[in-house]
Amino acid sequence: MPITGLPSFSAGILTAAQLNSIVTALETKFAGQIVSGDISWPLVAGGNINMAQYQLLNVSKFWNAYNAAERAAGTTLQNLLDSVSSDGGGIVLLPGNTTETVVSTGISIPASVHLVGDGFSSVLQMHASASAAMVTFGTTAHNSGLINLRLAGSTSVNQLFVDLNSNDFARIHGCFWDTHGTSAFIKVRAGAVGTSIFGNHFVGNGDTNTQDMILLEACTDTRIINNEFDEWTSAAITATPVSTAVSNTIVAANRLRRTATTSTAMTATGAFNFSNSNAVASAGLLVVDNSITGGGAGLRGIYCDDFDDVIVGSNQINANTTEPAMLFRSCARLSVVGNKVVNSLGDGIVIGLTNGTEAAATQDICVGFVVGGNQVYCHSATADDGAALIIACGGATPIDGVVAGNRLQTTNCNSFQVWFVTAAEINMVVAGNWSVSRNSGKKGFASYTDGGTTNTGNIGGSAASYWFTMVGNTIPGAVSGTDYTHDATDKTIVQDNNI
């Protein structure tokens, strides 16, 4: 609006009165007479704006980032997420020192939207209902994510935190997860592709509830990397294919820890539990550079059943259970390389059994395995438990593998054991291993006709076909259950071993 009261000028020298009238008109205008019409929006700054340590307050949008804490009255978080997606995508910011209680129906992250926080004080609080997941990534929610938030639950609500359902390339990065009932923190299902779970910190109750922190039911190209898992109950990561494969999964550089005060026994699973009980064809599993430590009864490291093309390498596992620290069943083309495994109460690495400690164990053969360069130490005080390595033969499928360059040590048990040697063909190379029991009455190598009870099984002879080579091993004590028979069906070679 124009400034009123300005004088009119004519040729000549300005007078003091004229100049004073100009000042008076300006003072009057700036003393409460500037109205909205005097300013044209949006303002366009022609240079830098110096805020002189002042703040920008009540900003609902900055660039393409929307502030969930400053949204318009009556606008729900879901309204805001959907609006951002319809605009082509962007960031919805949940600022620090802000708690957003999720409604009972949950929220759905749409396509190309990332809900981002400022860290631990940016809280998504679980609703008090068990009717819906807290956060859902739906079938079209591609290229979306949760970043740098705290997701807080309730022990009284057994509800899923995050449900990834058929979406592609979800990103769940840098979040803190705590307080739960029995449902998983994250479920990946219905063929979700390219999920990345990176740099999160999961904290469980360490109680008697059955809970998997991450549950994979159907997915491809999932990456679970550099996360921390504390006080899980059933398993930190479980993969149980339901009707569609869990394929091409990487689990790497994660740190898992339980304290000595927790006591939940996990006899059926491991901290990593890859259990394909439905026999859905699943392949491509890489488990590397993880650390699994802690006290508490029943702490097992890795369980893997009926996944093919599996590599388990460079992991450190300190187990405390009469169950095997690492147990593999029916895994074709399995590589177990470069791991350090310690089990205080039971076996170290077991291949081909439901349970390495049971005499009547069910045989489930792994074909085409490599066990190489591992360090395994077992300290059970029981003379018939705590083997460093058990390989179970048997059934119609031949045992087929290589055991090389391992350091295997036990306190009171035969260190390296092969079971059911008369039941199936054996094609195996055993070379360059150091295998010893600290009990002078036990052996570095022993073979059995049954599941670890009768140490009289010869590898060699006419009971089955053997292509067995044991060369260049250090196995103090005795080599039990091998002979030097060579005939048309038997190619057993045992030589140059330090016994």
The confidence score (pLDDT) of residue 266 equals 46
Same domain, 465 and 352: yes
Instruction: Determine the structural domain holding residue 24 and report its residue range.
Output: 1-31
User: Do the domain assignments include residue 162?
Assistant: no
Beta-strand relationship, 176-178 and 201-203? parallel
How far apart CA 410 and CA 121 sit, in angstroms, is: 48
CA torsion through residues 310, 314, 315, 316, sign: positive
User: 108: which 2 tokens?
Assistant: 């759905």
Question: How many structural domains comprise the chain?
Answer: 4
Residue 18: which region, alpha, beta or left (left: phi > 0; alpha: psi -120 to 50)? alpha
Nearest-CA neighbor of 438 among 366, 380, 362?
380
Tokens 């002042």 found at:
54
Check if the beta carbon of residue 397 is closer than 8 Å to that of residue 427: no
Final residue in a domain of this structure, among 148, 168, 202: 148
pLDDT for res 423: 61
- Residues 424, 362, single domain; the answer is yes
Q: Is residue 164 part of a domain?
A: no
> How far is residue 195 from each of residues 142, 145, 309, 473, measured CA to CA in Å?
10, 10, 20, 44
Q: Environment class of residue 16 by beta-carbon count within 10 Å: exposed (0-12), middle (13-18) or buried (19+)?
A: exposed
**Per-residue pLDDT of the chain in tens (499 residues, 90 and over written 9):** 567 767 777 777 878 887 888 888 778 777 777 666 666 777 777 788 888 888 888 888 887 789 999 998 999 999 999 999 999 999 999 999 999 999 988 999 999 999 999 999 999 998 877 667 899 998 899 999 999 999 998 777 778 899 999 999 999 999 999 887 778 999 999 889 999 999 999 998 766 567 789 999 999 999 999 999 998 888 899 999 988 899 999 999 999 998 755 544 444 568 999 988 777 889 999 999 999 987 665 667 999 988 999 999 999 999 888 888 999 988 889 999 999 999 988 899 999 876 444 344 456 778 889 999 999 999 998 888 899 999 987 655 677 899 999 999 999 999 999 888 876 678 889 999 999 999 988 999 998 888 888 887 777 665 567 788 889 999 987 655 555 455 555 677 888 888 8
* Bond before 42 cis per omega within 30 degrees: yes
Instruction: Please report the pLDDT score of residue 262 as a whole number.
Output: 52
- 475 and 333 co-located in one domain: yes
Q: What is the pLDDT of residue 268?
A: 56
- The sign one gets for the Cα dihedral 175, 103, 185, 285 is negative
454 and 358 part of one domain:
yes
Claim to verify: residue 327 and residue 387 sit in the same structural domain: yes
Cα distance between residue 331 and residue 222, in whole Å? 19
Domain termination site, one of 247, 271, 305: 305
- Please tell me whether residues 89 and 225 are part of one structural domain: no
Tell me, what amino acid is at 186? I
In whole angstroms, give the CA distance from residue 289 to residue 257: 15
Q: What is the pLDDT of residue 357?
A: 43
Q: Under a CB-based contact definition with an 8 Å cutoff, are residues 436 and 408 in contact?
A: yes
Q: What is the rounded CA–CA span in Å between residue 154 and residue 178? A: 9
Residues 6+ positions from 485 with CB-CB distance below 8 Å? 460, 461, 492
Rg for the chain, CA atoms, rounded: 33
**Does 8 share its domain with 97?**
no
- In order of 59, 325, 352, 392, 406, the CA distances from 362 in angstroms are 64, 18, 8, 9, 26
pLDDT, residue 206, reads 63
> What pLDDT score does 359 carry?
40
pTM above 0.85, yes or no: yes
Domain co-membership, 286 together with 336: no
pLDDT at position 358 is: 38
Question: Which residues, in sequence order, are CB contacts of 187 under 8 Å at separation 6+?
Answer: 133, 160, 162, 163, 164, 215, 217
